[in-house]
Chain A
Amino acid sequence: MLLLAILLIPAVAAGLAYLLPRRGLRLSLLVLTSVIHLALVAVLWTTPDVTALRGWLVADSLGLIVLTLVSVLFLAASVYAVGLLREESPRGGRLFVTCLLGFLAATSLVSLSHHFALLWVGMESTTLTVAPLIFHRHDRRSLEAVWKYLVLSSVGIAFALLAVFLLATSQPVLPGVRALLLDDILANSHSLEKSWLRAAYVFALAGFGTKMGLAPLHTWKPDTYGEAPSLVGALMSGALTSCAFLGLARFTEVAVAAGLTDFTQPLLIAFGLVSLVIAAAFIIGQADVKRLLAYSSVEHMGLLVLGLGVGGIGVYGSVLHVLNNGIAKGMLFLVVGNLVLATGSSVAADMRGMLKLRPWSAGLLLLGLFAVTGSPPFGLFVSEFSIVSGAIRQDHWIVAAAMLVLLAIIFVGIGGMFLKIIFGTGTTTAIEHEKATGDTTLLLVGPLALAGLVVMLGLYIPTPLQGSLARAAQLLGGIAP
């Protein structure tokens, strides 16, 4: 019941939001739904391994981590949405709020599915609910962005569907074993046909890799994040990519159980390193803040698969990094959104010296800079450190060295831009946008809360979370520290 409620409440609220006549009511519904959702997710933490629909939906450790991330980010984003839609909402935000709630339902479905086809349906629904959100401004540039996004992620999602069918093919027909159900597959992993399973994994990596935005399948990302409203960028880079990673992780669980790690690990490491290289190359000299954040997202997706690829404690780092990266990216996109509201542009040269103009947002941006580049005491330091030490302990010396060099380059690139935005003076001091809005409380609460969480995860990880992280790492073929 609890799991069904988590899926159905946002879905029903999405329909209701479209019918409600007034914007105020719609926004209250949005916040109310996200509060209820988070409360239900919190209940899940007290009752482990809740199951529904004969094992099709299970709140296992990995799924619950992603679901919690989605729920927390969504609450922060919905409070932000209230602040934002009060200022500017071309069409009363009707479609916007409906799609936001639909997105919550779809991402919850992905997090809870233990049936691969159901997971696919959820994944495809996230693409479809997010497309109108990207197109929110209804102009040429956002049109181009949404078209690129739709075409590329539809191809990715078609590959993921092929991966699901290939997985079913690799499963022999046995009495009492249901097709495509994760727990049944894991219980009979020795009987899987290896050649079909390898094919399934390759397509899963290509399909979910496109949805995650791993290089070289990342080309939609800078355009989409650059044009979408910042709030949508926060949800996509924090929640959507984490769900896509979860899809890949589910296939990885099966591959690990079937003893295919020798096949999967080099693939994952290759994708991870290419993503880091591409991200570093495009972050240096980037002119637009949102596009910079998009390449930073490519970087962090690369780190996630690298962690899975190196194995050992790297896998633990990877699962923890899902949480850290999601929260940090969500916070940064919201903060950058505030700066864009102040200056009317997302080009870094137009927003210098923001510390004087918007002290709160500029301060949070400074915090975000150190968080997202993995400096102590933030959570990302812990997870990135685990991934590097995983690489070293599994004797991937070259991988570890390449990672450290690339992370340093990325630090310089992001730092250079952010510091100019915060402290910069020079000729192009920020000109206040004619319709500029201040750092209102509603626009600051979300990012502040997320900043608090990312600091907390660096200093202290609650015991239940620690247990879940360790279990998830074990399922994915790694070890806990």
Chain B
Amino acid sequence: MTNIGKFAELLLLLIVLTDFAVLGSSRLSACIRAIAIQGVLLGILSLVIDDPRSVHAMALAAGTVAIKGIVLPFFLRWAMREAAVRREVEPAIGYMASLCLGSLAVGASFALANRLPVITTVDLLVPIAFATLIIGLLVLVTRSKAITQVVGYLILENGVYLFGLTQLSRVPFLVEIGVLLDVFVAVFVMGIVVFHVNREFDSISAANLVELRES
């Protein structure tokens, strides 16, 4: 394996570590830091996987680092300060259990990826994309704070993005920027809603949102 390939695999392993950091942490600021690091790692990874000299890869890497590594974490931190919350309260599944489920997800992803045809020279890319996707869903479903749910959505989206890296050279640049911008606006709108949830309920617990149900 080439040095570049090894570097890519190292980055992917670090990405899984950031997934687990979110899964095992109750402090929101730690979750946001983990998601920021993950954004930067994704940006570097897109440079490593494509030809690093292509303008396309460089612009995409810069856009990813700027949006996923800097702007969105900054914005989430702002929402957190506005809402004055620090910790996740009692997730539906405990932290140890979430970590175990996360490990299971990684195992299942490798099993699944082994059964699909090989599409990239970086062996870890597809399984880790699937694992990140599943862990994102897990965070989204099991955590009760609205901000943590946004973090879960971002991890899910990053998993999809990782898979998209296998098709990097084929998807036109404008489309990638469109995707990136859409994610940006989505999180922005969610952040605004989080802000309103805080004002209305004096807490950003999505668990408070239970008024609407079938009677």
Contact = CB atoms under 8 A, between A and B. Distances in A.
Interface of A: 115, 117-118, 120-121, 124-125, 127-128, 131-132, 135, 138-141, 143-148, 150-151, 154-155, 158, 161-162, 165-166, 168-169, 173, 179-180, 193, 195-196, 199, 222-223, 226-227, 282, 287
A168 B171 contact: yes
A14 to B, nearest CB: 14
Contact of A121 (B160, B182, B197, B211): B182
Nearest to A173: B170
B117 A195 contact: yes
The list of the 6 closest CB pairs from A to B, nearest first, reads A179-B170, A117-B175, A144-B209, A121-B178, A124-B182, A223-B212
Contact of A127 (B117, B119, B186, B211): B186
B189 interface: yes
Interface string B189-215: 110010011001100001001111011
Given A118-B175, A158-B160, A151 B197 contact: no
A155 B212 CA distance: 20
Contact of B186 (A138, A140, A154): A154
B214 A226 contact: no
A169 B119 contact: yes
Q: Which of B140, B146, B163, B214 has the most CB of A within 10 A?
A: B214
B153 A158 contact: yes
A165 B193 CA distance: 29
A135 B192 CA distance: 11
A100 B137 CA distance: 31
Among B166, B178, B206, residue most surrounded by chain A Cβ atoms (within 10 Å): B178
B171 A161 contact: no
B143 to A, nearest CB: 11
Contact of B167 (A118, A131, A146, A169): A169
B123 interface: no
Interface size class of B (residues with CB under 8 A): 35 or more
B186 A145 contact: no
Nearest to A282: B214
A147 B189 CA distance: 10
A168 B170 contact: yes
A117 B179 contact: yes
Contacts of B214: 222, 282
Given A117-B171, A143-B197, 19 more contacts: A115-B175, A118-B178, A124-B182, A128-B185, A128-B186, A128-B189, A131-B189, A139-B200, A140-B211, A147-B193, A148-B209, A161-B164, A162-B163, A165-B160, A165-B167, A169-B119, A173-B170, A199-B116, A282-B214
A150 B193 contact: yes
B212 A151 contact: no
Contacts of A131: 189, 193
B38 to A, nearest CB: 15
Contacts of A148: 209, 212
B98 interface: no
Contacts of A146: 193
A165 B164 contact: yes
B157 to A, nearest CB: 5
A442 to B, nearest CB: 30
B117 A120 contact: no
Contacts of B167: 165, 168-169, 179
